[in-house]
Structure 1
Amino acid sequence: MVEVKIKPLADRVLIQPDPAETKTESGIIIPDTAKEKPQKGKVIAIGNGKKNEPMILKKGDRVLYGKYSGTELKWEGEEYLVMRESDVIAII
């Protein structure tokens, strides 16, 4: 697992999105301009939660999130998303 020195605050989580698909199932290569943003990824770090609301997600969970959720962040050459735990749709 990636060790990142970013600690989200309160009910926020740091997610590393899965890479975008580069090829369709039938073998057609998708150009960079047509690639869709992934909507799933891995939880890298979590905040402490809010008062009386503990965090449900754990480090290492695979999750689904909304297409426009979170704030994009580049750190040491890697791309991450920081979002509220409530923006996560499901654990997979």
Structure 2
Amino acid sequence: MAAAQATFKSIKSLVPLLDRVLVERFKAETKTATGIFLPSSATSNPLPEATVIAVGPGAPNKEGRVVPTSVKAGDRVLLPGWGGNSIKVGENEYFLFKDSDILAKIEE
């Protein structure tokens, strides 16, 4: 099943709802440290790391209390190799994931 696509003029106009997390995946290197350009087939798979751009306020639990997302804007995260909804803003591509789909937060 292909991810849904949407197009916006500015990423600032997009505010995630509930426990959704807006991320920008890291871009694959197109050339090696020695200057050799890599073919597009070698860089076509998305990298699992991303930067969190914005988060929703959280989702209600069974008791009705809102549980905040586990990440915040600026965090580096590890994503699964599938899922997320693609969002294009100009030439940039962002993704919306549920907070529970994010595999890990990357501490530096």
> Which TM class, normalised by the smaller chain length?
0.7 to 0.9
Q: Pick from 94, 105, 108: which aligns with 1:80?
A: 94
Match of residue 4 from structure 1: 12
Q: Pick from 14, 32, 39: which aligns with 2:48?
A: 39
In structure 2, stretches of 5+ residues that fail to align are 1-10
Higher Rg of the two aligned structures:
2
Q: CA deviation at 1:33?
A: 2.5
Show CA shifts across 1:10-41 (max 9, x none).
11010011111223467653211331211111
Give the TM-score normalised by the residue count of structure 1: 0.84
In structure 1, stretches of 5+ residues that fail to align are none
- Structure 1 runs (4+) greater than 6 angstroms displaced: none
Give the TM-score normalised by the residue count of structure 2: 0.73
Percent identity for Structure 1 against Structure 2? 39
CA RMSD of aligned residues (A): 1.8
Q: How many residues align?
A: 90
CA distance in 1, matches of 2:83, 2:99: 10
2:73 aligned with 1:59: yes
CA distance in 2, matches of 1:5, 1:60: 18
